[in-house]
């Protein structure tokens, strides 16, 4: 709610003073004189405007918990480097973020849905689906990079499957980002730097990163627009370690004698050796976003969003093994304390990713807060470029190239179309909100296009013979209706009905 506080307080104070003097004037002539003087000092104020903006597109009259945070609170209370940081202090909610800029394993988890069930939660930004429902697991993360912390107006979370407006993927939670539009000309520039000292096993290093962002926006009459660019450059710490069970070694004098491994126990309390760190990721992410809105009337707005997210990521490994001459060993047969171990090329891997994803979102909605409101929305998320290149040879010989594989996801993506209405029947304005009927239609379509090819040069060579391919399409259509009736301050009834048809084809 937005209030003009100072004029409102002045009006109430003047009203109170006048009322007090009028009461006193009934008893003494002197008070009558004071009344006249007080009335002459009361000023006529301009119109006091009180406006209310719906904080979220989530249904609010439902029997479950909804938690929220505003953009102002995020700026004041949270050191947010990316959009998932806005969720870090929500109750019963966890984003599996391993480092700043984590883009491929930062899944959303709740008490009802763990990190292995990414498809059981939904994330939206201005009605655009950011959740990656192409699979279920730690690697199918929401596309957090399409929202920057600076543009967030508020974030709301609906816990659990308590609304017919959402499919079964809402069993964990529904996260709704609402981004803001400027009310006057504005421009901003922001920069931040971060560093960490990391020590684990044989890895002792410092990893640094920075984030830069700039935005420009304005409003003129019925038009409003907003442009923003953002860069995140970070070297994350290693997030995995190559290892061998002690029992995997065979008693032998063969193999290159090496030192440097670290003895430890695995989660099953078995003895194992830590051979080195892996999956140290350097990521450079660029985001560009444009939003434009037009108000046909004070209650009807059309808005369009165009977003581009690019990511250049490189993955490295580091072996702890040193031979008698001090050379680093990455593969082959090695001998550790009289046991021979076979170190495969895949134990220490090297790879790159070059991603370019594009979003489009179009919305037409009414916000009368009266008897009836409606909304039409559509969105497209497109993997315009998604190339992963991985080396197949021994790590120390692949820095300049060599045989490898290319994974191409070009053409993958999803689209959504939805129409919804909200009816608040009531004989008077006072009755609005006591009875709310929501209904709508949704169509979510996804397509997976994955081609894995061999290549003679994993660094920049062309795709050769096909190694494997994965393709398929899905279509989810849903109709829903939900009736919420506040019978009394202590009693509320909620009834919901949802029909769905899910279809997978062309696999």
Return the CATH number at 130.
2.170.130.10
163/150 Cα distance (integer angstroms): 30
**pLDDT over 70 at 427, yes or no:** no
Longest dimension (CA), the chain: 116
pLDDT, the chain, mean: 87
pLDDT of residue 112: 79
State which of 128, 152, 180 marks the end of a domain.
Answer: 180
Mean pLDDT of the 254-263 span: 94
What's the pLDDT at 221?
94
Sorted by sequence, the CB contacts under 8 Å of residue 287 that are 6+ apart come out as 145, 146, 148, 228, 229, 230, 231, 307, 308, 309, 310
Using CA atoms, how far residue 99 sits from 143, 204, 502, in Å, is 16, 17, 36
**Structural domain boundaries enclosing 22:** 5-41
Specify the pLDDT at position 288. 96
Q: Is the pLDDT of residue 7 over 50?
A: no
Please determine, for residue 377, whether its predicted confidence score (pLDDT) is greater than 50. yes
Q: Is residue 94 part of a domain?
A: yes
Query: Do 36 and 124 share a domain, yes or no?
Result: no
pLDDT, average across residues 115-127: 89
pLDDT at 466: 96
Q: Per-residue pLDDT for 481 more than 70?
A: yes
d(Cα 271, Cα 336) in Å, to the nearest integer?
A: 14
Burial class (CB in 10 A: 0-12, 13-18, 19+), 32: middle
Phi-psi domain of 160 (left: phi exceeds 0; alpha: psi -120 through 50; beta: other): left
pLDDT tens digits for range 39-82: 555 555 454 444 444 445 677 667 777 889 999 999 899 988 88
Domain end, chosen from 122, 155, 180, is at 180
Confidence grade of residue 161 (pLDDT, cut at 50, 70, 90):
confident
Tell me, yes or no, whether 354 lies in a domain: no
Residue 115 has what pLDDT? 85
Q: Which whole number is the average pLDDT over 232-253?
A: 94
Residues 14, 80 within the same domain:
no
CB 289 within 8 A of CB 369: no
For the CA atoms of 318, 320, 323, 326, the dihedral, rounded to the nearest 10 degrees, stands at 70
Does the pTM surpass 0.85? The reply is no
**Is residue 73 situated within a structural domain?**
yes
Of 134, 150, 180, which residue constitutes the final position of a domain?
Answer: 180
Q: Which whole number is the average pLDDT over 289-297? A: 96
Instruction: State whether 66 and 167 are in the same domain.
Output: yes
Quickly count helices (H) and strands (E) in the chain: 3, 25
Residues 140, 77 share a domain: yes
Burial of 298 (0-12, 13-18, 19+ CB in 10 A): exposed
What's residue 431's pLDDT? Answer: 59
Helix (H, G, I), strand (E, B) or coil at 345: helix
Burial zone of 411 (CB within 10 Å; 0-12 exposed, 13-18 middle, 19+ buried): middle
pLDDT higher than threshold 60 for residue 1: no
Cα dihedral 154, 211, 146, 157, rounded to 10, equals -30
Question: pLDDT exceeding 90 applies to what percent of the chain?
Answer: 67
Q: 129 and 75: one domain?
A: yes
- Inside any domain, residue 16: yes
Q: Is residue 194 part of a domain?
A: no
| Beta carbons of 108 and 137 less than 8 angstroms apart | no
Higher-pLDDT residue of 10, 502 = 502
- Write down the pLDDT at residue 18: 47
Alpha-carbon Rg of the chain, whole angstroms?
30
DSSP-derived secondary structure for 165-225: TS-GGGGSEEEEEEE---SS-EEEEEEEEEEEEEEETTEEEEEEEEEEEEEEEEEETTEEE
The verdict on 60 and 32 lying in the same domain is: no
- 14 and 82 assigned to the same domain: no
Report the domain count for the chain. Answer: 2
Gap between the Cα atoms of 347 and 274, Å rounded: 11
**Residue-level pLDDT at 41:** 56
pLDDT of residue 137: 87
Burial 418-452 (b: 16+ CB within 10 A, else e): bebebebeeeeeeeeebbbbbbbebebbbbbbbbb
* pLDDT tens digits along 24-41: 444 455 545 554 554 555
* Structural contact between residues 70 and 154, judged by C-beta atoms closer than 8 angstroms: yes
Instruction: Based on the fold, state whether residues 62 and 149 are members of the same structural domain.
Output: yes
Give the per-residue pLDDT at 57: 65
| Ramachandran sector of residue 129 (left: φ over 0; alpha: ψ -120 to 50; beta: rest) | beta
Quickly list H helices, 280-364. none
Note the pLDDT of residue 453: 97
| Backbone φ and ψ of 276, nearest 5° | 165, 175
| pLDDT for res 10 | 46
The reply to whether 172 falls in a domain is yes
> What 3-state DSSP class applies to 400?
coil
Mean pLDDT over residues 279-303, rounded?
95
User: Closest Cα partner for 141 from 178, 96, 99?
Assistant: 96
Which of 112, 2, 10, 24 has the alpha carbon at shortest distance from 65? Answer: 112
Looking at the structure, do residues 35 and 61 belong to the same domain, yes or no?
no
State the Cα–Cα distance between residues 247 and 250, nearest whole angstrom: 7
Taking 50 as the threshold, does the pLDDT of residue 335 lie above it? yes
User: What is the reported pLDDT for 51?
Assistant: 44
Note whether residue 134 is domain-resident: yes
By percentage, how much of the chain surpasses pLDDT 70? Answer: 87
Please say whether the beta carbons of 232 and 192 come within 8 A: no
Could you tell me if 105 and 152 lie in one domain?
yes
The pLDDT of 118-134, averaged and rounded, is 91
Per-residue pLDDT, 463: 95
SS3 content of the chain, % helix, strand, coil (to 5): 15, 55, 35
Query: pLDDT tens digit string along 140-155?
Result: 999 998 898 889 999 9
Q: Are residues 113 and 19 in the same domain?
A: no
> Which pLDDT score is estimated for 11?
45
Q: How far apart are the first and last CA of the chain?
A: 49
For residues 458-471, average pLDDT: 95
User: Using one digit for the tens of pLDDT, what is the confidence trace for 308-329?
Assistant: 999 999 999 999 999 999 999 9
Question: Are 32 and 111 in a shared domain?
Answer: no
Average pLDDT over residues 173-198: 93
261 in a domain, yes or no?
no
């Amino acid at each position: 709610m937005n209030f003009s506080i100072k004029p409102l307080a002045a009006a109430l104070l003047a009203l109170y003073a006048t009322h007090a003097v009028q009461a006193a004037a009934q008893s003494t002539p002197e008070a009558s004189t004071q009344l006249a003087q007080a009335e002459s000092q009361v000023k006529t104020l301009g119109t006091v405007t009180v406006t209310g903006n719906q904080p979220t597109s989530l249904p609010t009259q439902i029997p479950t918990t909804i938690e929220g945070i505003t953009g102002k609170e995020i700026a004041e209370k949270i050191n947010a480097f990316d959009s998932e940081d806005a969720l870090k202090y929500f109750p019963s909610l966890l984003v599996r973020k391993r480092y700043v800029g984590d883009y491929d394993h930062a899944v959303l988890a709740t008490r009802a849905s763990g990190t292995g069930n990414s498809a059981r939660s939904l994330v939206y930004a201005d009605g655009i689906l950011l959740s990656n429902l192409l699979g279920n697991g730690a690697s199918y993360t929401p596309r957090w990079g399409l929202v920057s912390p600076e543009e967030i107006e508020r974030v709301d979370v609906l816990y659990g499957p308590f609304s017919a407006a959402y499919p079964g993927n809402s069993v964990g939670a529904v996260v709704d980002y609402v981004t803001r539009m400027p009310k006057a000309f504005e421009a901003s520039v922001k920069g931040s730097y971060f560093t960490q000292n990391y020590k684990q096993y044989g890895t002792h290093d410092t990893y640094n990163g920075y984030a830069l962002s700039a935005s420009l926006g304005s409003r003129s009459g019925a038009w409003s627009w907003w442009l923003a660019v953002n860069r995140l450059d970070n070297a994350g710490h290693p997030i995995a370690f190559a290892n061998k069970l002690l029992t995997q070694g065979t008693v032998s004098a063969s193999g290159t004698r090496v030192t440097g491994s670290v003895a430890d126990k695995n989660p099953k309390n078995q003895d194992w050796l830590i051979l080195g760190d892996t999956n140290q990721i350097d990521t450079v992410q660029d985001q560009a976003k444009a939003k434009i809105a037009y108000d046909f009337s004070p209650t009807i707005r059309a808005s369009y969003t165009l977003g581009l997210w690019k990511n250049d990521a490189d993955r490295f490994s580091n072996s702890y093994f040193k031979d008698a001459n001090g050379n680093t060993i990455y593969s082959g047969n090695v001998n550790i304390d009289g046991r021979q171990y076979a170190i495969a090329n895949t134990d220490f891997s090297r790879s790159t990713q070059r991603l370019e994803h594009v979003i489009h979102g179009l919305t037409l909605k009414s916000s009368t807060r009266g008897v009836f409101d409606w909304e039409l929305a559509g969105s497209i998320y497109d993997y315009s470029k998604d190339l992963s290149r991985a080396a197949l040879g021994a790590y120390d010989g692949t820095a300049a190239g060599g045989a490898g594989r290319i994974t191409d996801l070009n053409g993958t993506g999803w689209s959504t179309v939805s129409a919804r209405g909200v009816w608040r029947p009531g004989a008077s304005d006072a009755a609005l909100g006591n009875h709310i009927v929501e209904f709508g239609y949704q169509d979510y379509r996804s397509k997976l296009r994955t081609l894995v090819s061999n290549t003679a040069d994993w660094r920049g060579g062309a795709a050769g013979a096909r190694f494997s391919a994965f393709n398929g399409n899905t279509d989810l259509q849903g109709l829903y209706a939900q009736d919420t009736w506040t019978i009394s301050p202590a009693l509320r009834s909620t009834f919901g009905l949802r029909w769905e048809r899910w279809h997978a084809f062309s696999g």
